[in-house]
Amino acid sequence: MSDYVNVAKIFGENVFNDTVMQERLPKKVYAKLKTVIREGGELDLETADVIAHEMKEWAIEKGATHFTHWFQPLTGFTAEKHDSFITAPKENGKVLMSFSGKELIKGESDASSFPSGGLRATFEARGYTAWDFTSPAFVRQDAAGATLCIPTAFCSYTGEALDQKTPLLRSMEAINKQALRLIRLFGNTTSKKVVPSVGAEQEYFLIDAEKFRKRKDLVYTSRTLFGASPAKGQEMDDHYFGVLRQRIGAFMKDANIELWKLGVSAKTQHNEAAPAQHELAPIYAEANVAADHNQIIMQTLKMVAGRHGMKCILHEKPFAGVNGSGKHNNWSLNTDDGINLLDPGKRPHENNQFLLVLSCMLKAVDLHAGLLRESASDPGNDHRLGGNEAPPAIISVFLGEQLDDVVEQFVSKGNATHSLKGGKLEMGVSTIAGVNKDATDRNRTSPFAFTGNKFEFRMVGSRDSIAESIVVLNTIAAEAFDEACNELEQAENFDEALHELIKKNFSEHRRVVFNGNGYSDDWVEEAARRGLPNISCMVDAVQELTRDCNVAMFEKYGVFSKTELASRQEVKYENYSKTLNIEARAMINIAAKQIIPAVISYTKTLADSIIAVRTAGLDLVSVQTELLEEISSELIKAQKALKELSRLEDKVLELPEGEERARFYHDQVAPAMKALRDPIDRMETMVDKKFWPMPSYGDLMFEV
Ligand code: ADP
Ligand code: MG
């Protein structure tokens, strides 16, 4: 078969990975690099020169002409500045291809082009990008040719983080230190490192590119600002796990090949709950590699969709009333010698180390629930969290029957003496063997669910970097572990102190555990009774960044300084305001120039028809008259709402940037946008389709 894919052969072929380095680098250089990767520290220039040279030679063999320091500023996208390998022409008019250790290790970038939240005075535009050698370099092949991409961190001239990677790496150091202390308490002397592992499931929509282009709202804002519900929605549940359509199948095949070449272990793919929605999940990896890979996944999905005449939409809520897209961040803690700290084993009630870790996680999540919620805040995610889908905005932990029972035993008796078993699942068909059940069922409505040997944080928005939530998880876990170790390292009777601590943590923080339906109204009330925060919007969530207890924690573990947190908060307010500003302006534009004129044309047709019927001396115009009246009444509402939205748009720009402006957008502009959308969506159901100036929800979602 001509299109046979040899996965083992192509996997990682465009990655400067360990195997390639071992093959190409002199033994001494390779050993030095490995030591720095393992133990931290700096690479000397001489070593860096050798690595850079080999990396360049390898990249050129892959067709690369340029290199770029690939980084993740606070824009939510990756950024890169391309330089070719060419050095100044020699006398003979030929060029040399060169790449030095200095160029590999450090780049300089104009930081003024990226959000800094006031960190950097505008005259001080210098920013640095520094190679993160724990995430391998790769060659990306696309329409721009082949480029050697070097994953880098990005910071200001004064060392403040301006990106997602720097705090992620810092938080990995923090959790490593505290988790090592914790496992030493249980006699582990052999593990050298504890690393957070992450598997990020990515949801996305695929839309026909031609239709996409006809929707200016999608073009400018990645979401539909207008659109009546289609005749058929997702109520038939026929899409999820449905057979992949050929066009989608071809896309996925192509995307997988591109990802495999880049060393991304794309593994699971399926349709999602909504029509035209799909998911891709790679096999989990070390947190910072997983975060980089997730960026590569998003870029690749978009690129490959283009080749197939489609658009990949990563917005959290592209279609109102239809399931939105998120990203599930599966997180666990693993030692370098293969021990998962979140593995309960067969008899969780006897696994003291696991119970301590679990009790610390409950404490961490309970104390910093608002911060965890904040890590998933994004203007797009506001349409999703708290709606009747995806996770609710209230942070709770799902433990499942078995662990909940262990916690209950601790709380009521002070220790646990047994673990519930799974048993056999009988299907009632003699030819199908009984299947062993897990002791715990799944719960898909929980924002933070324990799933076997990991936690799954389901709130992250589909477009966002997973780094933010990993930073929070790592740091809150580090704090809880640190406090536990401080107590237990001093204890005279370790076993007694351990039991006491587990019991205390479980008792004090059990309120964050919830195993029921997270989408129900009852839960909202129950959570309020328990005193759990319910932060419904981004503008409120962002305040968590500068709350005293959060600042103290981040500073203590060296993850963020207070200044960095304040700057991130500014960036987020700005991002919220900018997003809503673009959306409001796009709405005004589309309504005024496309929709209202189209409706007027249609009303003219209706009026003409009424006149024609009357002229013919007939009295049968009630349908047209009624329709004309109804449409006209909606048209008036739309025109009024349009004026009001324009007025608010002018007003908001007079407000100072930052929280005040963001709040005005949330409190005033967003409701005005809804007031404009409502009559327009109603008119869409009344106006002849031939007149409607853009494809409908049905056209977009069912005709891919
Ligand atoms: P789901 O049933 O939740 O849709 P998927 O198979 O789509 O599950 O995704 C699960 C993700 O969790 C994958 O990326 C997988 O590699 C990852 N994962 C599995 N085990 C662990 C673990 N111990 N730590 C972190 N991630 C894990
Ligand atoms: Mg999945």
Taking each continuous run of H as one helix and of E as one strand, the counts in the chain are: 24, 19
φ/ψ of residue 353, rounded to 5: -65, -45
Residue 184: band (very low, low, confident or very high) from pLDDT cuts 50, 70, 90: very high
Residue 231: band (very low, low, confident or very high) from pLDDT cuts 50, 70, 90: low
CB 330 within 8 A of CB 451: yes
Which atom of ligand 1 is closest in space to residue 332's alpha carbon?
24
Q: From the CB of 269, is ligand 1 less than 6 Å away?
A: no
Residue 283: band (very low, low, confident or very high) from pLDDT cuts 50, 70, 90: very high
Q: Which residues contact 154 (CB under 8 A, 6 or more apart)?
A: 71, 72, 73, 79, 109, 111, 114, 127, 128, 129, 130, 161, 162, 163, 165, 166
Our CA dihedral for 676, 680, 681, 682, rounded to 10 degrees, sits at: 120
CB 484 within 8 A of CB 353: no
* Of 197, 330, 332, best ligand 1 pocket probe by most atoms within 8 Å of the beta carbon: 330
Gap from CA of 448 to ligand 1 centroid (Å): 14
Closest CA to 669 of 640, 654, 649: 649
Closest CA to 355 of 408, 285, 284: 408
Q: In terms of residues, how long is the chain?
A: 704
Measured between alpha carbons, how far is 262 from 296 in angstroms, rounded to an integer?
A: 8
Gap from CA of 284 to ligand 1 centroid (Å): 7
Select the more confidently predicted residue: 668 or 130.
668
Helix locations, 438-537, DSSP H: 467-490, 494-509, 521-530
Residue 614: band (very low, low, confident or very high) from pLDDT cuts 50, 70, 90: confident
Gap from CA of 278 to ligand 2 centroid (Å): 10
Arithmetic mean of pLDDT, 220-241:
75
Arithmetic mean of pLDDT, 527-546:
96
Above 50 in pLDDT, residue 675? yes
Arithmetic mean of pLDDT, 325-348:
96
CB 475 within 8 A of CB 483: no
> Angle, nearest 10°, between helix axes 622-652 and 670-684?
160
Above 80 in pLDDT, residue 625? yes
Q: For residue 259, give the 3-state DSSP assignment.
A: helix
* Of 268, 271, 280, best ligand 1 pocket probe by most atoms within 8 Å of the beta carbon: 268
Residue 1: band (very low, low, confident or very high) from pLDDT cuts 50, 70, 90: very low
Hey, which residues does 107 pair with through a beta bridge? 129
Ligand number nearest CA of 198 is 1
CB 492 within 8 A of CB 381: no
SS3 readout for 625-676? HHHHHHHHHHHHHHHHHHHHHHHHHHHHCCCCCCHHHHHHHHHHHHHHHHHH
Q: From the CB of 16, is ligand 1 less than 6 Å away?
A: no
Ligand number nearest CA of 200 is 1
Gap from CA of 453 to ligand 1 centroid (Å): 10
Gap from CA of 400 to ligand 1 centroid (Å): 17
Q: From the CB of 446, is ligand 1 less than 6 Å away?
A: no
Which atom of ligand 1 is closest in space to residue 279's alpha carbon?
7
Cα separations (Å) of 465 from 202, 296, 462?
A: 11, 11, 8
Arithmetic mean of pLDDT, 576-605:
98
The whole model's pTM is what?
A: 0.94
pLDDT single digits (tens) 132-145? 988 999 999 988 89
Gap from CA of 392 to ligand 1 centroid (Å): 21
- Lowest-confidence range among 57-66, 86-95, 131-140? 86-95
- Strands 194-208 and 310-313 come out as antiparallel
Gap from CA of 330 to ligand 1 centroid (Å): 6
Hey, which residues does 271 pair with through a beta bridge? 278
Distance from chain centroid for Cα 647: 34
Number of neighbours of residue 170 by Cβ within 10 angstroms:
19
Closest CA to 584 of 311, 220, 318, 229: 220
Q: From the CB of 283, is ligand 1 less than 6 Å away?
A: yes
What's the longest Cα–Cα distance across the chain?
Answer: 104
Average pLDDT value over all residues in the chain: 91
Measured between alpha carbons, how far is 535 from 544 in angstroms, rounded to an integer?
A: 10
Q: From the CB of 284, is ligand 1 less than 6 Å away?
A: yes
* Of 195, 284, 327, best ligand 1 pocket probe by most atoms within 8 Å of the beta carbon: 284
Residue 622: band (very low, low, confident or very high) from pLDDT cuts 50, 70, 90: confident
Q: For residue 559, give the 3-state DSSP assignment.
A: coil
Specify burial of residue 503 (Cβ count, 10 A radius: 0-12, 13-18, 19+).
buried
Select the more confidently predicted residue: 92 or 423.
92
Arithmetic mean of pLDDT, 352-365:
98
Which atom of ligand 1 is closest in space to residue 284's alpha carbon?
16
Q: From the CB of 265, is ligand 1 less than 6 Å away?
A: no
Arithmetic mean of pLDDT, 502-528:
93
The rounded percent of the chain whose pLDDT value lies above 70 is: 92
Above 80 in pLDDT, residue 536? yes
Above 50 in pLDDT, residue 357? yes
Q: Return the pLDDT at 391.
A: 74
Q: For residue 484, give the 3-state DSSP assignment.
A: helix
Measured between alpha carbons, how far is 556 from 319 in angstroms, rounded to an integer?
A: 42
Measured between alpha carbons, how far is 325 from 327 in angstroms, rounded to an integer?
A: 7
Going by alpha carbons, the residue nearest to atom 1 of ligand 1 is: 201
CB 22 within 8 A of CB 16: no
Measured between alpha carbons, how far is 453 from 439 in angstroms, rounded to an integer?
A: 13
Q: From the CB of 127, is ligand 1 less than 6 Å away?
A: no
Above 60 in pLDDT, residue 243? no
Measured between alpha carbons, how far is 249 from 157 in angstroms, rounded to an integer?
A: 47
Q: From the CB of 241, is ligand 1 less than 6 Å away?
A: no
Q: Which residues contact 174 (CB under 8 A, 6 or more apart)?
A: 474, 475, 478, 557, 558, 559
Closest CA to 135 of 85, 81, 71, 83: 71
Select the more confidently predicted residue: 243 or 187.
187
Cα separations (Å) of 8 from 265, 304, 594?
A: 11, 21, 52
CB 672 within 8 A of CB 644: yes
Measured between alpha carbons, how far is 89 from 155 in angstroms, rounded to an integer?
A: 33
Q: From the CB of 190, is ligand 1 less than 6 Å away?
A: no
Residue 238: band (very low, low, confident or very high) from pLDDT cuts 50, 70, 90: low
Q: Which residues contact 418 (CB under 8 A, 6 or more apart)?
A: 349, 409
Phi-psi region of 617 (alpha: psi -120 to 50; beta: other; left: phi over 0): left
* Of 201, 444, 470, best ligand 1 pocket probe by most atoms within 8 Å of the beta carbon: 201
Q: From the CB of 445, is ligand 1 less than 6 Å away?
A: no
Gap from CA of 443 to ligand 2 centroid (Å): 13
CB 284 within 8 A of CB 290: yes
Measured between alpha carbons, how far is 621 from 313 in angstroms, rounded to an integer?
A: 45
Q: From the CB of 197, is ligand 1 less than 6 Å away?
A: yes
Above 70 in pLDDT, residue 237? no
CB 217 within 8 A of CB 315: no
Closest CA to 75 of 153, 166, 163: 163
Q: From the CB of 330, is ligand 1 less than 6 Å away?
A: yes
Measured between alpha carbons, how far is 611 from 595 in angstroms, rounded to an integer?
A: 24
Cα separations (Å) of 239 from 27, 275, 302, 387?
A: 53, 6, 22, 21
Above 80 in pLDDT, residue 453? yes
Q: Which residues contact 21 (CB under 8 A, 6 or more apart)?
A: 30, 33, 51, 54
Beta strands in 58-143 (DSSP E): 64-70, 82-84, 86-87, 96-97, 106-110, 126-131, 138-142
Gap from CA of 198 to ligand 1 centroid (Å): 8
Going by alpha carbons, the residue nearest to atom 6 of ligand 1 is: 268
- Lowest-confidence range among 86-100, 353-367, 571-585? 86-100
Specify burial of residue 522 (Cβ count, 10 A radius: 0-12, 13-18, 19+).
exposed
